[in-house]
Structure 1
Amino acid sequence: MRVEYRVLGPLEVLLDGVPVNVPAGRCRVLLATLLLRANEPVSTGEIVERLWDGTPPSADRAGKTLHMIVTRLRRALGEASCVHTRPGGYAAVVEPGQLDLLRFRAHVAAGEHTEATALWRGPVLANVSSESLHRDFVPALTEERLDALERRIDTDLARGVAAELVPELRALTTQHPLREVFWAQLMLALHRSGQQADALAAHQEVVAVLADQLGVPPGSRVREAQQQVLAGDVPATPPLPQPHHVPRQLPTALPHFVGREPELDRLDAVLASGRLVAVISGSGGIGKTSLAVQWSHRVANRFPDGQLYSDLRGFDPTGAPVNPISTARDFMLALGVPADEIPVGTEDMLSSYRSLLSRRRVLVLLDNVRDVAQVRPLLPGGSHSLAVITSRNRLRGLAAQHRVFPLDVLDPDESMVLFGGRVGAERIAAEPQAATRLVELCAGLPLALAVVAARATLDQHPLGMLVEELEHAALDALDTDDPLTSVRAVFSWTFSCLSPAAARLFVLLGLHPGPDVTEPAATSLLAAPSAEALDELVRYSLIACQRDRYRLHDLMRSYAAEEAAQRLSSAERTAAQQRFFDHLMHSALAATAKSDPLRQPITTPDPAPGAVVLTFEASTDADRWYAEERAVFGPAVAAAGEAGFDGHVWRTVWAIRHFLLATGRWREGERLQRLAVAAAQRAGDLEGECRARRGLVSCLVPEREFDEAEHQLRAAVALDERLGDLIGLSNDLRGLAYLLGRQGRYADALDPLLRASDVALRSGDRIELASVSASLAFVHHELGDHLEAARRAEQARDMYLDLVPDERDTVVASNRDTLGSIYRALGRYEEAEANYLRSVELQATLSYRHYQADTLVRLADMKRELGAADAARGYYLSALAVYDDLGFAKADDVRELLSLVERPVPPQ
């Protein structure tokens, strides 16, 4: 087994030559921290500082999290793990030949500078997000590399190498304009390859740069080089022959490139897999070219015969994409083929081009490709050269054989790093809230971030002023005089390429409240099948697709909304919005009918023609749909209210209440229920107002806002009495009893329940009668009257069995849980366990997972009291897994209970 660790470039671990996946984030920071101090112990305190970049959480939490990170890293590395525990910290234990940094330093010490510099694969730790590592370690390592590079080039010059060094030295003087040694070496390389005028021009350039940047004249190395050029001195050793031209056409990499670590890792995997075509797709301004250029520079040393670049202008505002035949001809000229030797015929020339590349190792970057037909003739022949392609088109014709990487927007942290790198840390520190808001408004789009950063830098506008502009009219604020950098113009070039159906759907998506849309919702907006139009929008990267959900980033949504306002009449907009709101509301009602079948129904108008209404086979299907649509409900409800669809507001909120309560989203539910109350009041809909107030109570009680809950309940009681709704009134009275019970006032809760029992009897509704009996059972149990509680709970159980034979309903499962507690109090432990387990079984198929965990805790408590420690431990662990998954604070209580049943550690 051979293990190799690499930090001189992206962090990599190789096991027998195969890359080992090192998890992104803090696992990489930990491994990099240890490898940079290889074979030295690193204290826990320093590691914590590195992992959280100087802002760690509490010491206790940091210690626990560090332990988990170490465990995760060791598990990921497997046999390649080098992480060892040391007193007070950890160390990376490696052999000198296993770590590229140690090998680099050994080569330098031995004077083997060519071998040393060959180990560098790009910027140090390019895929590790750690401000402190890049601040404290990377500059010094970069200096070591540059020193070695200077010595290597000196050696090459002494050997008579000259012309071959010129492209490399031009790049180095561009990247490090204040490093005089590179300028001196460039002057000598130009002079010794017969380019004396260029050598003198380079001297003039470095003099100007140093005067402008530092206000100093050149040092001794530059002066000595100038004297050699003026004297015409050329070493006797002849220059090495150049076998063929080596083009270096890659654009300069961005100085503030950030993020994209997963994409860079996946691109690295392309080479590891032997595939030699990679397609980077995404919307305009998403950063495709920047990523392609960054990665191309990262792997350029693997292609010693050069790098070719062409912007094919597939989505150029002139509408004239570059002819691939002319590009192929330009590439052949760059590779050193004389113009008179390039075949005239198209097929002959392309054949000659591919044959030429098949004999060389060349990287070809084809930027801004329109379609497969434009790029296919330029793909290299053979198995040695690499093609990197960027396009707004997914180029599916290449996907079968080659890798396609859809590019998404930057996340907020990456966006802030990019923005801060351009405007400066001082500006961010001076207006932190404005900076955060600007990054948010740019929606992670690199082009937008660049435009805003440029305005902030060039015009020195306060960031707060830019925030106001973007909030008022984002696309106007991101407009520039240059169509290549105007966000609106960039979007429009792609829009103009769409078919009529796809263009209309894109415009209609401007009416969707976001953040993502499904095919049924798109079909409802379009009032026609939408699959092909969605596919076209994805293909042109105007929308992104993930797990059958389609998303426009915020600025693209703003552009679609602009187009909707301009291209659709008021009647068209209203009709499309109604179809969408009908789709969401009626689908939610259908989901509720499956997830909460015993719930009292509401009156609902029929859906508009063209609106798609979903159906669900089982409650699990409904719950899954609820979870997938969760982020849509809030914006949709708000949009429906703003558009005047008040009936849709309260009915949709009524339909999703079950899901919000089941997943503990009480504050979100409260906000939506208040919108529902207001909408029903605007519409003068007493039924809607009553249902919305009752729903608001169910969200207030878990937050212990009892006074407000009681006010809302009494208002609901008055409304139900006014409406003559006996079922609703009984429901209100049960709610009042529940509210009193949550305050420990169980004796006071009996009166409203007895009133509810009378009202339910008058209504004749069996569901409500069963629910009142279940509520009475719970209250009698809490009051210590366990026999009466058992009678009521058994009565409710039998009625529920008639109503829902499979018992798959939340209130049925809750009654089973109550029965378990009642039987436990009566000492009927086997019956108690059977009912607890039945409740857990039912809740596993329903939405209320936290209730399932509550029941498991009660069952575990009973087992612990009975001395069955193993069984108790198992139930506690099951409950803990649910609470942790939901992020509930009750998890800490369960950990305390677990400590009471932990086995003593056996002696060693």
Structure 2
Amino acid sequence: MRVEYRVLGPLEVLLDGVPVTVPAGRCRVLLGTLLLRANEFVSVDEIVERLWDGTPPSADRAGKTLHMVVARLRQALGAANCVRTRSGGYVAVIEPEQLDLLRFRAHLKAGEHAEATALWRGPVLANVPSESLHRDLVPALLEERLAALEKRIDDDLELGVAAELVPELRTLTHQHPVREVFWAQLMLALHRSGQQADALATYQEAASVLGDQLGVTPGPRLREAQQRVLAGEVSATAVLVPSHHHVPRQLPTALPHFVGRELELDRLDAVLASGQLVINGSGGIGKTSLAVQWAHRVAGRFPDGQLYSDLRGFDPTGAPVNPISTARDFLLALGVPADEIPAGTEAMLESYRVLLSRRRVLVLLDNVRDVAQVRPLLPGGSQSLAVITSRNRLRGLVTQDRAFQLDVLGPEESMTLFGGRVGAHRVAEEPAAAARLVELCAGLPLALAVVAARATLDQHPLGLLVEELEHAALDALDTDDPLTSVRAVFSWTFGWLSPVAARLFVLLGLHPGPDVTEPAATSLMAHPSGDALDELVRYSLINSQNGRYRLHDLMRSYAAEEAALRLSATERADAQRRFFDHLMHSALAATLKSDPLRQPITTPAPAPGAVVLAFEASTDADRWYAEERAVFGPAVVAAGEAGFDGHVWRTVWATRHFLLATGRWREGERLQRLAVAAARRADDLEGECRARRGLVSCLVPGREFDEAEHQLRAAVALDERLGDLIGLSNDLRGLAYLLARQGKHLRALDPLLRALDVAMRSGDRIELASVSASLAFVHHELGDHHEAAAHAEQARDMYLELVPDERDTVVASNRDTLGSIYRALGRYEEAEANYLRSVELQETLSYRHYQADTLVRLADMKRELGELDAARGYYLAALDVYDDLGNAQADDVRELLSSLN
């Protein structure tokens, strides 16, 4: 039984979600008085004062009437009665989560101001007629609400919300004209939404109101707001929010045979609002199915998109997903360019909360392990909603009315699910057998789905299936697993698979990632896997979506146990090697397309049976990287644990370009450190050197220059031991790059000149071209444009020889540098030609942000030359790209366009 009392609006009592009628008149006054003083003793004298508004009858008559009112109220409340008699008075005994007023104060204490203010539904006890109650008790509550509103709006302003607050604050300043905080907040909201004149006019209006009504001048909060407007201060987080053009649709496909859970769906509908809600329950009970079904049902209420992440909190083959990585993925999905995502963790999470505070987004966070894993991903503001599933209760994350404990399906719902899948006619033909199969599944949707699939595919009499499953259930009782019904169903169905499908199912227990592709499955088996995958899908042992196959985590646990039991150590190691070879060699092939000029590494041949993918273009490689990204991390960890250290550092080497290009340098840093450790375990000098150099690439974005230099100098020592001149030159270029990033361009020349000598001795044209391009950039920054031009032209000519179509990022970057050099030398036609070539290349390489940057430089040059129409055209082209990416630099370009007009 769930009872809820509400006083922050009309008086309401709910019993299991159904309103309880409270008699009008003195019954409501009595209950309202006790609830406003919940769990406190209230004397008879005070209650009499409230019931008769200060003019009670004789003491004897008042006492008798009060007894009648109490009795009538208790009778009306029934099971929801909370009124207890005490000597000389009464008390309402209330649990903290039962009364909205107590929840309001708990939210305030926890600093959850948006959640607190959301509980208010209107005037306090609007349907309770008591002048003394509204005179003596309600005003203090209204002050609590206003203080909470002030703090909630401060939170929103801090998160970067501005324009959305203006209408609300105009209403609040009208209703509470002498409350300075609302005036100050209105000024900042106007200012940060680009209405500076209105913001300053608001200060004058506030000063006039305060002078007329109170005879005072503006206080510190208002004066501070005025100074911030005059100083042009803008929220640091506001500029991080991209345009609204990116609307992600990440929800998994809803189940076609979803049945039951009507009560749960209705309860979810009843609490649909911003904030978060939690669905918890044991494994296999249908949490994800319910969450996905409901999310699709309400998706239309969240027009700015739906985000989804399986956080793998209980996956037996890998660590739970890092929420910081998920937040970065969400920002990318929402349209924030990779290089615009803040470097620091806190700044990135703040940017994520700011973005969701400005949008209406549904965020489905599946398989959450604990509160710590999910808290960084909760949306900010008061418009978005997070739906969370977990086997744990996640206490303290939500209030009782927003936590849903999912139980097994009842017999009727179970039969409906089973019958819907096997056909009503089969249930009608063997009702007793159907009922027994449902009983053996113990109301677990996962077990019911597998049994139904088996019954549908084999078309054996249901009675025969009962005999088999009962035998399997007896075997399952020997285990310690509490979900014996699921284990029994798995083992029973596994026995009916074809030998090839059964072998694949066992081998999937070795796969470390969240899902698997057909080429990966084929590599595990060393045998074509398409038919076996289809068979596993038909038996509901795996799910398929967009060419990827996923096991439920309980199913994965079972597969892993079977792999340990059925496969020898040699078989397991061979299968793992084939899978790691598939991933590593495919990643190396992708790198050849995405980063063709990169210094190659020594790589052993793939094992027989391992599938190595080929890629037609860099876009195909980038798409594959993105699809497999969630597999790389777990696979690298698993390879290290299994002793495949060479696969660790080579796979990480091959994925570095993609992780950096998409701004996932923290993820790259973690993997590079694993690569360094693996190479050192294997005493592999080449691997250690490459891993340390890769680690530098991931340290620089966070400006960790000291450690980056330490790693580079270690790489220099290793390359000198190896006699690798190309690697040594690469290391020296890295040292110069570190110095240039810190503005130390003159000091950067020394390692570059050393790199030039080493590269010339190596005779490697790619390295020579790269050193020349680096020298060009540094000389240009030092103002030595003629020397810079010579180096940049030399790099251009060598690149044309090495990559005739010039489709490489370093080639496009050198073209951009050459454009800037020619501009500085007054060779404007050549500058324009090189800028445009860089723009063309960046577009084909999907580096559109850099494309827009180059367009701006070209437009700047045209403006300086007085060619304003051409400048306007290039600025508009850049603006289109920035706007499409949601990049904040769009505002800068708009200002430049405005200055042209």
TM-score by length of 1: 0.52
Provide closer, same or farther for how the CA distance between residues 263 and 699 of structure 1 changes in structure 2, counting only shifts above 3 A.
closer
Match of 2:428 in 1: 327
Determine if the alignment matches structure 1 residue 777 to structure 2 residue 810: no
Provide closer, same or farther for how the CA distance between residues 752 and 286 of structure 1 changes in structure 2, counting only shifts above 3 A.
closer
Q: Is the 8 A contact 2:679 2:687 kept in 1?
A: yes
Between the aligned partners of 1:67 and 1:565, the Cα distance in structure 2 is: 62
Match of 2:762 in 1: 763
Match of 1:349 in 2: none
Displacement of 1:55: 12
Between the aligned partners of 1:669 and 1:326, the Cα distance in structure 2 is: 54
Alignment deviations for residues 749-777 of structure 1 (CA, whole Å, 9 cap, x no partner):
11111111111111111111111111110
Match of 2:294 in 1: 261
Between the aligned partners of 1:578 and 1:398, the Cα distance in structure 2 is: 37
Letter of the 2:804 partner, please give it. P
Match of 1:901 in 2: 897
Alignment deviations for residues 849-874 of structure 1 (CA, whole Å, 9 cap, x no partner):
54334434434544565545633542
Determine if the alignment matches structure 1 residue 562 to structure 2 residue 595: no
Between the aligned partners of 2:698 and 2:503, the Cα distance in structure 1 is: 40
Secondary structure, in 3 states, of the residue corresponding to 2:544? strand
Letter of the 2:879 partner, please give it. L
Secondary structure, in 3 states, of the residue corresponding to 1:550? strand
Letter of the 2:894 partner, please give it. L
Between the aligned partners of 1:526 and 1:874, the Cα distance in structure 2 is: 54
Q: Is the 8 A contact 1:312 1:368 kept in 2?
A: yes
Displacement of 1:61: 3.8
Higher relative contact order (CA 8 A, sep 6+): 2
Q: Is the 8 A contact 2:765 2:798 kept in 1?
A: yes
Q: Is the 8 A contact 1:314 1:369 kept in 2?
A: no
Q: Is the 8 A contact 2:451 2:489 kept in 1?
A: no
Match of 1:302 in 2: none
Q: Is the 8 A contact 1:595 1:847 kept in 2?
A: no
Match of 1:639 in 2: 638
Determine if the alignment matches structure 1 residue 531 to structure 2 residue 530: yes
Match of 1:173 in 2: none
Q: Is the 8 A contact 1:525 1:580 kept in 2?
A: yes
Displacement of 1:814: 1.0
Alignment deviations for residues 206-241 of structure 1 (CA, whole Å, 9 cap, x no partner):
xxxxxxxxxxxxxxxxxxxxxxxxxxxxxxxxxxxx
Secondary structure, in 3 states, of the residue corresponding to 1:844? helix
Letter of the 1:613 partner, please give it. V
Secondary structure, in 3 states, of the residue corresponding to 1:517? coil
Displacement of 1:662: 1.3
Match of 2:838 in 1: 839
Alignment deviations for residues 41-82 of structure 1 (CA, whole Å, 9 cap, x no partner):
xxxxx9xx99x99997447744557999xxxxxxxxxxxxxx
Displacement of 1:607: 0.7
Percentage of pairs with the same residue: 67
Letter of the 1:681 partner, please give it. R
Provide closer, same or farther for how the CA distance between residues 672 and 864 of structure 1 changes in structure 2, counting only shifts above 3 A.
farther
Match of 2:591 in 1: 592
Displacement of 1:676: 0.9
Match of 1:702 in 2: 701
Between the aligned partners of 1:689 and 1:605, the Cα distance in structure 2 is: 17
Q: Is the 8 A contact 1:368 1:392 kept in 2?
A: no
Alignment deviations for residues 455-490 of structure 1 (CA, whole Å, 9 cap, x no partner):
xxxxxxxxxxxxxxxxxxxx999933x744xx4345
Determine if the alignment matches structure 1 residue 892 to structure 2 residue 888: yes
Alignment deviations for residues 503-525 of structure 1 (CA, whole Å, 9 cap, x no partner):
21111111111111111110000
Q: Is the 8 A contact 2:855 2:875 kept in 1?
A: no
Q: Is the 8 A contact 1:505 1:522 kept in 2?
A: yes
Provide closer, same or farther for how the CA distance between residues 125 and 881 of structure 1 changes in structure 2, counting only shifts above 3 A.
farther
Match of 2:621 in 1: 622
Between the aligned partners of 2:478 and 2:419, the Cα distance in structure 1 is: 25
Match of 2:481 in 1: 479
Between the aligned partners of 1:636 and 1:310, the Cα distance in structure 2 is: 40
Match of 1:874 in 2: 876
Provide closer, same or farther for how the CA distance between residues 548 and 600 of structure 1 changes in structure 2, counting only shifts above 3 A.
same
Provide closer, same or farther for how the CA distance between residues 830 and 632 of structure 1 changes in structure 2, counting only shifts above 3 A.
same
Cα RMSD between the aligned structures? Answer: 5.3
Between the aligned partners of 1:663 and 1:310, the Cα distance in structure 2 is: 46
Displacement of 1:846: 2.3
Match of 1:655 in 2: 654
Between the aligned partners of 2:613 and 2:166, the Cα distance in structure 1 is: 46
Between the aligned partners of 1:792 and 1:751, the Cα distance in structure 2 is: 16
Provide closer, same or farther for how the CA distance between residues 608 and 704 of structure 1 changes in structure 2, counting only shifts above 3 A.
same
Match of 1:420 in 2: none
Between the aligned partners of 2:519 and 2:751, the Cα distance in structure 1 is: 45
Moved more, 594-603 or 859-868: 859-868
Letter of the 2:816 partner, please give it. D
Displacement of 1:780: 0.6
Provide closer, same or farther for how the CA distance between residues 805 and 540 of structure 1 changes in structure 2, counting only shifts above 3 A.
same
Provide closer, same or farther for how the CA distance between residues 286 and 722 of structure 1 changes in structure 2, counting only shifts above 3 A.
closer
Q: How does 1:126-525 map to 2 (within 5 A)?
A: 128=269, 130=271, 260-262=293-295, 324=425, 327=428, 391-392=449-450, 479-480=481-482, 483-484=484-485, 487-525=486-524
Match of 1:608 in 2: 607
Provide closer, same or farther for how the CA distance between residues 613 and 489 of structure 1 changes in structure 2, counting only shifts above 3 A.
same
Q: Is the 8 A contact 2:454 2:539 kept in 1?
A: no
Provide closer, same or farther for how the CA distance between residues 735 and 552 of structure 1 changes in structure 2, counting only shifts above 3 A.
same
Letter of the 2:726 partner, please give it. I
Determine if the alignment matches structure 1 residue 573 to structure 2 residue 588: no
Between the aligned partners of 1:133 and 1:603, the Cα distance in structure 2 is: 54
Between the aligned partners of 1:509 and 1:646, the Cα distance in structure 2 is: 22
Provide closer, same or farther for how the CA distance between residues 53 and 713 of structure 1 changes in structure 2, counting only shifts above 3 A.
same
Letter of the 1:871 partner, please give it. G
Q: Is the 8 A contact 1:310 1:327 kept in 2?
A: no
Alignment deviations for residues 854-902 of structure 1 (CA, whole Å, 9 cap, x no partner):
4344345445655456335424424424653xxxxxx334434434434
Q: Where do 5+ consecutive residues of structure 2 fail to align?
A: 1-114, 124-144, 168-188, 190-261, 277-285, 301-388, 392-405, 441-446, 458-476
Provide closer, same or farther for how the CA distance between residues 483 and 561 of structure 1 changes in structure 2, counting only shifts above 3 A.
closer
Between the aligned partners of 2:478 and 2:876, the Cα distance in structure 1 is: 60
Secondary structure, in 3 states, of the residue corresponding to 2:516? strand
Q: Is the 8 A contact 1:741 1:779 kept in 2?
A: yes
Provide closer, same or farther for how the CA distance between residues 132 and 610 of structure 1 changes in structure 2, counting only shifts above 3 A.
closer
Secondary structure, in 3 states, of the residue corresponding to 1:516? coil
Q: Is the 8 A contact 2:852 2:879 kept in 1?
A: no
Between the aligned partners of 1:554 and 1:841, the Cα distance in structure 2 is: 46
How many residue pairs get matched? 540
Letter of the 1:586 partner, please give it. H
Displacement of 1:791: 1.7
Match of 1:786 in 2: 785
Provide closer, same or farther for how the CA distance between residues 852 and 390 of structure 1 changes in structure 2, counting only shifts above 3 A.
farther
Letter of the 2:897 partner, please give it. V
Letter of the 2:570 partner, please give it. A
Secondary structure, in 3 states, of the residue corresponding to 2:606? coil
Provide closer, same or farther for how the CA distance between residues 558 and 124 of structure 1 changes in structure 2, counting only shifts above 3 A.
closer
Provide closer, same or farther for how the CA distance between residues 494 and 871 of structure 1 changes in structure 2, counting only shifts above 3 A.
farther
Alignment deviations for residues 317-369 of structure 1 (CA, whole Å, 9 cap, x no partner):
xxxx99945615879xxxxxxxxxxxxxxxxxxxxxxxxxxxxxxxx999979
Q: How does 1:796-807 map to 2 (within 5 A)?
A: 796-807=795-806
Q: Is the 8 A contact 1:800 1:807 kept in 2?
A: yes
Provide closer, same or farther for how the CA distance between residues 257 and 504 of structure 1 changes in structure 2, counting only shifts above 3 A.
closer
Q: Is the 8 A contact 1:511 1:561 kept in 2?
A: yes
Match of 2:738 in 1: 739
Displacement of 1:708: 0.6
Q: Is the 8 A contact 1:824 1:832 kept in 2?
A: yes
Letter of the 1:583 partner, please give it. H
Displacement of 1:845: 2.6
Secondary structure, in 3 states, of the residue corresponding to 2:512? coil
Between the aligned partners of 1:517 and 1:713, the Cα distance in structure 2 is: 36
